[in-house]
Structure 1
């Protein structure tokens, strides 16, 4: 038993990751990272979540939920910035925790990330599908009911065909190489931000001040609506918006001068994304009473159409249709790098760690693409949103606590950090505690599903990973 416990905490030599990741070509600069991060942060969430969260949890106070989430994400972003500047490896938290705490905890962190990424791809595609159906519907074009949503026989839907198609298209695009993808991503993000600004300006002309009253509705006992209970519940659901931080960090090995570029990309994404979230949500809940956004996955375009701004609404829908692709690109890119890292370490079959002649881990990419197509076409949008937040929060807790293992090794057996998380040793603990409180605010279903997900992860690790990992082989060779 003692030997098994010692085995679980064998740490990976960082030079092993440096050597294996050398086949990945560094091509991302600060602007590319901000583009990837903003593409994810200011992606599906900004076009979809503010209305749903307002109707289900916060009422008009949805901007407060975004602010609380931004504080939690901002603290974690500081931890991410320091860690990525010292350990510039593919796989982000999975690889970092492997080096800092050992293989077993690294696997747990990586398995949480996999839930985050895997479900994020499906969630984003599901949001894209909702906007595409709304856009087509404005021209009188409707798909058969059976092909318009996740599996729900009571509503007559069985598969979301548009979500599956969106994921497949993005998978094909990423397989052609990272440099081309980053240019497309930056262009899409630029256009998307301009149209979001247009929504803010046009929507502001249709605001009715009475819709803000009461700003924080009283709490309804036995529910997660109203009061600070509703704001915390809304924050937990909104946290998916900040998945972009880990999506950036997953590409550290493909970043030019990551010691300086990565912190700039992370913090730039936080500032830009939070500002847009607050502005959009304020305008949205001011245009219509919050309860009218219930179960509406395209609230921004809906609000514009129902306030008479049809041209702007259709333009927003077009940009959302194209712009949500930027979020799909960012998260599918990050998830394929995580699967690659699992294969690189032998915790999943080694073939997934293969890199092709275009310097793309295509086998990992196509595995996650096809699995996400199945998930995104079967499960409903709001269910996916909650589960993503759970995986994100677990990863944030791991990375925040990782600073305590990282800081003593900086300048010793690890490089000195170009960026340091301030107010050490207090702030890492505050960051971890903040994420833990938000995690506790998740609904019961999300916690149960995450428990089941971790149980599956333990089975995979002890049945396969622990025996096939490169750490295990290195120790046996000694």
Structure 2
């Protein structure tokens, strides 16, 4: 078999599904319900984005930012439907990595998995870095004091030495994950319900100060402003695919995974639209400050009531939002690495399952240690922005994977079929490319360097240890 054929050899779908749940030392336990899976995706998606993004997006679109959120949701929906089809067809932990292995070959699967490593590890580290600042904002409003900058900021930031706050939230999430998937899902459900309740509280408060005059002119920047803001808020929808990483711990994955992905996107969209409408109705769009974004919703809530306690509650919601994102994203990272290790592309330690806890303990501890180093000691800078391009690349591969699998294996049982095929996955792939094209040049440079390192790692280790290649040899 030639090198090219080896690199592009696909893994049979039936085999991927048959190996699901199995690791060294034991099996993962199927405990997650539809409700828990849905909240997993909501937990990963509904982060601090909505707490900060309005201040940046409203000056571009005016009150029509509400339509920008809808437009961004439609853009995300094309990829979500493709994820839903493949999650119901290949219900395993690898998510888009496993889907690429079944449709586009080993090298493309490796590249997809490598992109996800960038997305998950760096993004959760970046989110954890911001947790100390939100915690300080909450403590300042509640008690009038803050934690020292030396332990709430990373090196490179003013006064930062070691970001102990970021390390603490990562360790808390790790502790929950080591107790089991069901316990983690329950904790995440509580966190998600709290932050949704906080956003509902914000809407209730903001609507008391709603003035219809604040919505005029509705689209001062025209269609160009709406689309520009939509490109910016699109990244607030990234995370809806989190449920697909729980394919081997779901009770009824073929039925529940597609539903969880679509339901989570619908729920998040409803929350975003309501919050955006309440915000622009309570405060004139010209009053939004793109520089002072961290306390955007808190400020609006305070102004609506004429007191400081509403903003305190909203700040608490931001603290909870970050905790939920850290928990769900670390979970997704460990499950993707679990699938890659089972295929031999990374060391076997990542697929070892604790017989007692039924979770990949060593995998979780290694990931947590790496993220702690990133969050506590490394100035992430532009690298954090590069996570978006890795996510979009994985989305594009999933859309292409739906097309390939439909044509190659039309007889496969599918619990969910993407509607309006092939238009939906084609549009999904094109839209991902359009959004990627709009990213900054430095982001593309970081992405290119990351891909180069990934290819070197694959040919030094993955290619020689691949189980699929070993069988051919």
| TM-score > 0.5 by shorter chain | yes
User: What residue in structure 2 maps to residue 272 of structure 1?
Assistant: 267
Cα–Cα, structure 1 residues 111 and 61, in superposed 2: closer, same or farther, change >3 Å? farther
Q: Given that residues 51 and 290 in structure 1 are in contact (C-alpha distance below 8 angstroms), is that contact kept between their aligned partners in structure 2?
A: no
Change (3 A) 1:228 1:175: farther
Corresponding position of 2:179: 176
Alignment counterpart, residue 150 of structure 2, candidates 141, 146, 152 = 146
SS at match of 1:304: helix
Q: Superposed, which structure 2 residues align to 1:154-165 within 5 Å?
A: 155-165=158-168
**Deviation at 1:207?**
4.4
Task: Say if 1:366 and 1:238 are closer, same or farther in 2 by CA, change over 3 A.
Answer: farther
Q: Supply the distance in 1 between the matched residues of 2:378 and 2:231 (Cα, whole angstroms).
A: 19
Larger CA deviation: 292-301 vs 345-354:
292-301
- Contact 1:40–1:241 (8 Å) recurs in 2: no
The structure 2 residue matched to 1:195, chosen from 182, 194, 198, is: 198
Q: How many angstroms apart in 2 are the aligned matches of 1:281 and 1:385?
A: 25
The count of corresponding residues between Structure 1 and Structure 2 is 463
- Select between 179-188 and 272-281 the one with higher mean Cα deviation: 179-188
Superposed counterparts of 1:375-390, under 5 Å: 375-377=374-376, 383=382, 386-390=385-389
Find the aligned partners of 1:287 and 1:293 in 2 and give their Cα distance. Answer: 17
Q: What corresponds to 2:343 in structure 1?
A: 345
Question: Are 1:137 and 2:125 matched, yes or no?
Answer: no
Pick one of 244, 262, 272 that aligns with 1:249. Answer: 244
Do structure 1's residue 326 and structure 2's residue 320 form an aligned pair?
no
Aligned to 2:370: 371
Q: Which runs of 5+ in 1 are unaligned?
A: 219-226
Is there any run of 5+ residues in structure 2 with no aligned partner, and where? none
Instruction: Give yes or no for the alignment of 1:303 onto 2:294.
Output: no
How far apart, in 2, do the equivalents of 1:109 and 1:202 lie? 43
CA-atom RMSD, angstroms?
Answer: 2.5
1:119 aligns with one of 118, 122, 126: 122
- 1:427 aligned onto 2:430: no
Shift of 1:82: 0.7
Match of 1:221 in 2: none
Q: Which moved more, 1:4-13 or 1:119-128?
A: 119-128
Distance change (3 Å), C-alpha of 1:149 and 1:211: farther
Say whether the 8 Å CA contact 1:163–1:376 is kept in structure 2: yes
Q: Deviations over 1:20-71 (max 9, x none)?
A: 523121111110111111112222222232224445x545443333222211
Q: Is the 8 A contact 1:149 1:380 kept in 2?
A: no
Which string of whole-angstrom CA distances, capped at 9 and with x for unpartnered residues, describes residues 92-145 of structure 1? 010111011110011111112222211231233234333211011222212333
Identify if the C-alpha distance between structure 1 residues 346 and 186 changes in structure 2 by more than 3 Å, giving closer, same or farther: same
1:40 equivalent in structure 2: 44
| TM-score, structure 2 normalization | 0.90
The answer for the alignment partner of 2:437 in structure 1 is: 440
Q: Distance in 1 between matches of 2:394 and 2:265?
A: 17
| 8 Å contact from structure 1 (residues 410, 416) kept in 2 | no
- The aligned counterpart of 1:222 is none
| Distance (Å, rounded) in 1 between the aligned partners of 2:100 and 2:107 | 9
Match of 1:7 in 2: 6
Corresponding position: 1:66 with 2:73: no
Corresponding position: 1:204 with 2:207:
yes
| 1:177 to partner: Cα distance | 0.3
Q: 1:447 to 1:217 in 2, by over 3 A?
A: farther
